[in-house]
Every structure is written in structure tokens, then in C-alpha cells.
Structure 1
Amino acid sequence: MISRSTVRRLAVSALAVGGTAGLFAAASGPAVAAGTLPPNLAKYANCPISDPTVASCVYIETSSAQLKVGKFDLRTNDPIKLEFGLKNPPPTYEDVAVAPNNGHKVMTAPPIEVPGGIFGVPGAGVGPLAAYVTPELTEVPRVNTNNLVNQEGVALGLKVKAKVHNPFTDVLSIFGPGCYIGSNTWPIPLDLTTGTTNPPLPNKPISGAYNPGTPEGWGIKFDDVRAVDNTFAAPGASGCGTPFGWMNPIVNGIAGVPSKAGTNTAVLVADISITDANEVREPLGLDPVYQ
């Protein structure tokens, strides 16, 4: 059995040279009663720690997000949150995301206002003419912490669909409750990198950013990570106008979708926190798992 002190010593050395093994480098927080997470671990409340294969817990919270798809240029400073566990199964030991097993969604996102409303007219997107888009995941993320740190390749892969609605009135009820840009079978694929993209024209390369992590409890926090993708194509509308999607062409015209690769952009600026899953198991009275 590997002792926690050994893990700590190895992790401190790894953090000193910038490796991802430094995820668990800092001292533990104060002891708390079993069954209660201390404040510094509360963000990991939805980590699937009851799964013994989960080795670490991840919490991501954006400070800003942009999703430019077709004619829609969506921006928000309201937080988008992603919560999941990570396992590293043999023989590759690559990162594999594990969704919460308590019914909580991997991603929670606010409604993002469409500038100009449903008709895209500046100043007209108010009240019943307002339109909002809420992104939803269609599957668990793909994660590569090595790519995150090394600023190359895909650090965070997200497949999303975007619900078109007005949460404050029923004017857009004509679209039905299942009006989306994209779908479960044809999502918007975001391959977010902290490195530099290589998009088809007319888009030009853009770069993400990575700041070395700082110790946070028995884990590490990466502040103000900028993850970008402008290489993806976006699908058209689905489920708009029940029961046969008869309003899909109308939404396609309003949103300018489908839109080809090289014309869309996604930019997320986020804080990323990762900790040893055993650090979350311990105050909840669960036995540690050594892998």
C-alpha cells in the first residue's frame, strides 16, 4: 500500500517541474466530522467517489465563454460549471471522465442571450422577442491533462447541443420544448486546446493559454485557463416545431446553420481544480482506494 506521505513527496517533486502528477501536492485541510465535506472540498460534492475506479475529482468553472456559431455570437460571464471524476485505466492509463452518479449533470450552464433576439435585429431582442440558447452536453467530456499542461492537442473535448428558447415567456413555445441547434446524434463538436489551433479558412489560428497550477488542499488549481477551438463545423436545428420539426428550416435561417468548419469559434476562460478522490472520500467516511 502506498502511503499518503509518499504520494505527497512524489507529487511535490512533480509539481516543481510542472508535471501533471503534481495534482496532489499540497497539505490536507483541517480534519472534519465524517459525512461532511470541508469548505475547501465542497466544490467536489458531485464527484462520483463511490466508484472505486475514480482516482481524482475535477471541478471547472468558467469566468467567460464565447460560442460563435453561424449568425449567433453568444457570450456570457455567468459561470458554466463542469463536475466529474477521472479514472486512468490500464493499459494506457489515459484520463477517462466519469459522470456524477447522484443524478447531477456533468455540465450546468446558464441561458445565454442571443443578441438581437429571435430576429437578430439590434435592440429588438427584449421581452417576448428575446431568445436564449442554453448549451447541454450530449456525452461525457474527453479530457487530457497532459495536453492541458503541454499546450498541445485536445485538452477538453465537449459535444454539445444548444437549446433555443425564451425562459421568461411562452412566445417561443411554437418551437416546442425540444428545439435545438444540434442533437444527440449530430452535436456541435468542441475540441478545446490551450495551444494554437489550425483551422480551415476563413478562420485564422487562435491560441489558448495555460498558467502553472498552484496547490489547493490535496490538489491543484489552474487559474484563468483559456481553451479555444475554431476548427469545428456546426449542425443545423433539430426538434423545432412539434411533432415533425417543421420549423427547423426557419431556425436554420435565423441562426445561419449548418455552418461549415472555419466559420465558428469557441473560447472558454476557466479555473480548473483537480484533487485526489481519496481526499473527498475521507471526510465522508468512505475507505480510501489505492490504485
Structure 2
Amino acid sequence: MKLFNVQSRRSAAAAAVALLGGAVALLGLSPSPASADPLPPNLSMYANCPVDNPAVASCVYIKTTNARLKVGKFDLRTQDPITLEFGLRYDENYNSIAVSPSNGAKILHSPPIAVPGGVLGIPGAGVGPLAAYVTPELTALPTIDINNLVLQQGTVLGLKLKAKVHNPFTDVLSVLGPGCYIGSNTHPIALNLTTGTTSPPPPNQPISGVYHPGTAEGWGIRFDGVRAVDNAFAAPGASGCGTPLGYLNPTVNAIAGVPSPAGTNTAVLDTTVHITDANEVREALGMEPVYQ
């Protein structure tokens, strides 16, 4: 992905801000982790950006405030914040590659999302020991393409997930065990979220995302009101339910309605995307900027 096609990270951020006025934007050393010292409030969202890695050119923070994930029979919705935070480096062709936080922080932070009807799938029954929650976890580094975000085409945000099924009241002691997931590291739920229009197999119909022009934010840019969608993905079956042999995988599959084929699942994320030059964070921490 050619996000910032320039020679230095500082000029990259300046170029990104300059492009805001255009009709079509083609966006849009003392090693220590970013969280080692406090950042000013305007940069605090980048506290886990791995700026101690000299290859990191940009910092990314994505906050979703309204999410829907329909997988099989589970129609999960939450307005609790879900965040993604990571760095980006660029290869010789200016394709962006995600870099995990170097301080041990997770890239994806998600609250447990309640399953309507709980383990029985009966309205009103999902409370106490009958409650069921799903918490998504990444199985691979995310991908992001700001050009596609702006042009409303292709994959904007790529996520490979597995969804932990658990009961917060009796998690470790429950019959499902602590390692019960829909999907797995080898067979994840693969989302290719777009701000454009999807092309799913039936019975799903095309749906469209939303893009609004970015706003300058320090050396970087912020995209508000982004809606990223995908309804063309398949969902794998359960794994690790009823440890150690997964003998309850068929039960979870029946409850959740998985595996479910492409064209029967939907993901919608209403989100804000923040991206800035990593040197802005470095300098705020008293670190030397890095130029390539």
C-alpha cells in the first residue's frame, strides 16, 4: 500500500496534510517503548506505538464505537469501544506492514460481547450461568490501506480473528473450558472490510461503507465517521470447546450455527481512524527522529 510516497517520515506527514485540500487524496535515538514516558493528551492514543523500532514510520490508532458481527446464529452488537493500535513500516514498494507494540500491549482491545439469549439462544435467558459472551482476538497482524479508504474500493482493513466463547461467571470452570473459540489460528474468521460496496454471494445483498474526508491532526490525519463493512466472508466452526479434545465443538457449532458459508455473515464497524508520523511521537518522548 502506498500510504505516504515520500523520502522522509516528516515530509510524509506534511504531504498527507497538504493533500486534505484536494478533491481526491492518494493517501486521503534512545530506544524505549512509546509508553515509557507520558505523551501529551493529543498523542496519548499512540502510547503503544512501537517507535523504539527505527523501521516504524507511522503510528495507527483505530477506535470503533459501534460494531455488529453476525456469524451464523450469533448476531453480536456492541457500542463499547473496540480499539486497534500498532505501527506501520513500509517496504521498498511503499506497501505498509503492521508492527506490533513492543511493550507487550495487544493490538486489538475488545470488550466481551454478549450473545443474545445466552447459551440457550432464548430471549431473556442470557443471564448468570446461562450467559454467553464472545470476545474477538487477532490471529495475525492486521492490514490497512488508506488509499482504499479514500477511494472507497478494495480492502481498507483486513482482520483475521478467532472469537472466544465464554461465560464470565464460570469461565475456567465451565464445561466449555478456557480455550473455546469460533475459528482458530489456522482457520480464522477473515474480514476484508471496505468503505466501498461489497459483492457477496447470495443470499446476502451488497452493502456499502462510508467515507468522509480526513482532517489534519498534528503531523497526521484523522478520518471520522468511517463505516467499514464486509458480508462476503465465511465463518469456520468451533475449536477447543470441552478441553482437551474439543468434544463439545459439535455442541457449540449447533448453538452458534457454524460453520457458516460466505454470503450468510456480516460485519459492520463504525470507526475513527487516526494515523500520524512516528517521528511526531518520538519527538514528544524526547527521542531522536528517524529518517530513511
Same fold (TM over 0.5): yes
**1:105-254 pair list within 5 angstroms:** 105-170=106-171, 173-254=174-255
Separation in structure 1 between the aligned mates of residue 137 and residue 64 of structure 2, nearest angstrom: 15
Q: 1:89 aligns with which of 91, 95, 99?
A: 91
> Does the CA contact (< 8 Å) of 1:35 and 1:285 recur in 2?
no
> Does the CA contact (< 8 Å) of 1:75 and 1:112 recur in 2?
yes
> Does the CA contact (< 8 Å) of 1:128 and 1:171 recur in 2?
no
How far the C-alpha of 1:170 sits from its partner, in A, is 4.5
How far the C-alpha of 1:168 sits from its partner, in A, is 2.5
Q: 1:19 aligns with which of 1, 19, 25?
A: 25
Separation in structure 2 between the aligned mates of residue 269 and residue 80 of structure 1, nearest angstrom: 10
The unaligned stretches of length 5 or more in structure 2 are 1-6, 29-35
Q: Which deviates more, 38-47 or 11-20? A: 11-20
> Does the CA contact (< 8 Å) of 1:15 and 1:21 recur in 2?
no
Separation in structure 2 between the aligned mates of residue 251 and residue 227 of structure 1, nearest angstrom: 28
The unaligned stretches of length 5 or more in structure 1 are 23-33
| Identical pairs, percent | 68
> Does the CA contact (< 8 Å) of 2:14 and 2:219 recur in 1?
no
Separation in structure 2 between the aligned mates of residue 104 and residue 257 of structure 1, nearest angstrom: 31
Q: Which runs of 4+ in 1 moved over 4 A?
A: 1-4, 6-9
Separation in structure 1 between the aligned mates of residue 141 and residue 13 of structure 2, nearest angstrom: 30
Q: 2:41 aligns with which of 39, 44, 48?
A: 39
Q: Deviation per CA, 1:169-215, whole angstroms, max 9, x where unpaired?
A: 34971001000000000000000000000000000000000111111
Which residue number in structure 1 is paired with residue 284 of structure 2? 283
User: One-letter code of the match for 1:82?
Assistant: L
Q: Deviation per CA, 1:27-74, whole angstroms, max 9, x where unpaired?
A: xxxxxxx94311100000000111111111000010100000000000
> Does the CA contact (< 8 Å) of 1:166 and 1:172 recur in 2?
no
Q: What count of residue pairs does the alignment treat as equivalent?
A: 278
TM-score by length of 1: 0.91
Q: 1:57 aligns with which of 54, 59, 64?
A: 59
User: One-letter code of the match for 2:25?
Assistant: G
Q: 1:9 to 1:103 in 2, by over 3 A?
A: closer
CA RMSD of aligned residues (A): 1.8
